[in-house]
């Protein structure tokens, strides 16, 4: 399948809220940054990310957080098989900047390493509150929350796919940003008070027939920075084979977690599904939070990443 067709399918399948991509049929999307001659990968020592407002004009920064990665196999009928979803682990997203723009992004989590570089023919597009990206071959894809459109200052979250169009690869979800100091959360809230956060999730799911979906939902969080309650509701799922989007309320869930330092962990419960959630607060004063979750049961397997702000 040609790169332009792969890009069009990816961008259309993940277009949230029926957005108009502004890309003619069969045409590649316009990149965020103009193409450059091929360049080597990002170096091993990027600077620590402190916020989107302080991104350097030139240089590399690293966002730290949590991720989940799992291998998948797609058969000729479009049914996907995913090995047991592993526990979450450390994730980092490296942004390589030049001329005031992000030229490349590299996600590392679990066994996945995804590199999308506009200098080597990769594409990035901001549309509908998301950043959609693909490498030159169209086999590595990414969908991230657009920090500007969502009002995020310190974190982002998204879905990554490798091996797209080849029949097998890896899929990952990740939440990354500028982690809050361990004492920041409780320092900003009077004893006995609560704080509320609102945002969204992006994820992937597979039903009992093996049909793959890309998902999105509304996320609300309430916390006293000792315990935390999260609700994911209004879930919409895009069938990755037919591109049809429809509500999937069986993926709605609630989660409860305990806070320790700048992080939190807990359990997920939905309609016949159970699982785990892990995340962290982001920003110097815990202005935002994010994390990853996974759940299974009732024939469904589901994993996602979320972000929210006060």
| Residue at 34 is within a domain | no
| Residue at 301 is within a domain | yes
Question: How high is the pLDDT of residue 192?
Answer: 65
- pLDDT top residue among 202 and 30: 202
Question: How high is the pLDDT of residue 209?
Answer: 92
Question: How high is the pLDDT of residue 96?
Answer: 97
Which is it for the CA torsion 8, 233, 203, 34, positive or negative?
positive
| Residue at 56 is within a domain | yes
Note the pLDDT tens digit of each residue in 102-153: 999 999 999 899 999 999 999 999 988 999 999 999 999 999 999 999 999 9
Question: How high is the pLDDT of residue 189?
Answer: 67
Note the pLDDT tens digit of each residue in 229-278: 999 999 999 998 888 999 999 999 999 999 998 999 999 999 999 999 99
Range with the poorest average pLDDT among 43-57, 87-101, 294-308: 43-57
| Residue at 35 is within a domain | no
Confidence of residue 191 (pLDDT cuts 50, 70, 90): low
Average pLDDT, the chain: 86
Note the pLDDT tens digit of each residue in 69-106: 999 998 988 889 987 889 999 999 999 999 999 999 99
Contact 103, 36 (CB under 8 A): yes
Question: How high is the pLDDT of residue 196?
Answer: 96
Q: Spell out where the chain has E strands.
A: 47-48, 59-74, 80-82, 89-98, 101-109, 112-117, 123-127, 130-134, 141-145, 155-162, 168-177, 195-206, 212-223, 227-239, 245-247, 253-260, 263-270, 274-282, 288-297, 300-309
Confidence of residue 174 (pLDDT cuts 50, 70, 90): very high
Contact 175, 65 (CB under 8 A): yes
> How many independent structural domains does the chain possess?
1
Task: Give the mean model confidence (pLDDT) for residues 165-193.
Answer: 85
Domain containing 90: what range? 3-29+47-309
Closest CA to 145 of 105, 187, 201, 94: 201
Confidence of residue 182 (pLDDT cuts 50, 70, 90): confident
Question: How high is the pLDDT of residue 185?
Answer: 67
CATH of the domain at 282: 2.40.160.90
Distance separating alpha carbons of residues 264 and 260, to the nearest angstrom: 6
- pLDDT top residue among 27 and 81: 81
Distance separating alpha carbons of residues 152 and 241, to the nearest angstrom: 31
| Residue at 196 is within a domain | yes
- pLDDT top residue among 77 and 51: 51
- pLDDT top residue among 131 and 192: 131
pLDDT over 50 (residue 31): no
| Residue at 39 is within a domain | no
User: Which 3 state secondary structure label does DSSP give 150?
Assistant: helix
Contact 225, 196 (CB under 8 A): no
Token couple for 221: 């969080």
**Phi and psi dihedrals of 146, rounded to 5?**
-75, 115
Q: What is the dihedral of CA 114, 117, 120, 121, to 10 degrees?
A: 100
Partners of 303 in beta bridges: 204, 294
- Counted residue by residue, the chain has a size of 310
pLDDT over 70 (residue 43): no
Distance separating alpha carbons of residues 199 and 194, to the nearest angstrom: 17
| Residue at 42 is within a domain | no
Largest Cα span, the chain: 58
| Residue at 97 is within a domain | yes
Range with the poorest average pLDDT among 35-44, 136-145, 218-227, 282-291: 35-44
């Amino acid at each position: 399948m040609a790169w332009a067709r792969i890009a069009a399918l990816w961008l259309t399948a993940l277009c949230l809220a029926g957005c108009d991509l502004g890309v003619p049929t069969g045409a590649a999307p316009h990149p965020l940054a103009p193409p450059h001659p091929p360049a080597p990968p990002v170096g091993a020592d990027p600077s620590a990310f402190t916020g989107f407002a302080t991104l350097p004009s030139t240089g590399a920064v690293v966002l730290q957080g949590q991720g989940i990665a799992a291998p998948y196999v797609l058969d000729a009928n479009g049914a996907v098989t995913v090995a047991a979803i592993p526990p979450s682990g450390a994730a980092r997203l490296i942004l390589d900047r030049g001329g005031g723009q992000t030229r490349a992004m590299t996600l590392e989590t679990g066994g996945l390493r995804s590199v999308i570089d506009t200098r080597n023919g990769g594409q990035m597009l901001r549309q509908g509150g998301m950043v959609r990206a693909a490498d030159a071959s169209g086999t590595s894809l990414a969908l991230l929350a657009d920090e500007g459109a969502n009002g995020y200052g310190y974190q982002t979250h998204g879905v990554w796919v490798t091996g797209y169009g080849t029949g097998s690869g890896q899929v990952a979800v990740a939440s990354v940003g500028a982690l809050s100091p361990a004492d920041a959360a409780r320092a900003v809230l009077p004893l006995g008070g609560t704080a509320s956060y609102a945002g969204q999730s992006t994820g992937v799911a597979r039903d009992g027939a093996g049909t793959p979906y890309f998902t999105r939902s509304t996320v609300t969080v309430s916390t006293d920075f000792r315990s935390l309650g999260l609700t994911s509701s209004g879930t919409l799922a895009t069938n990755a084979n037919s591109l049809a989007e429809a509500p999937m309320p069986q993926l709605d869930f609630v989660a409860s977690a305990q806070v320790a330092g700048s992080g939190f962990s807990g359990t997920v419960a939905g309609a016949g599904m159970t699982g785990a959630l892990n995340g962290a607060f982001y920003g110097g004063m815990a202005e935002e939070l994010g994390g990853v979750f996974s759940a299974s049961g009732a024939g469904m397997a589901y994993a996602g990443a979320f972000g929210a702000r006060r």
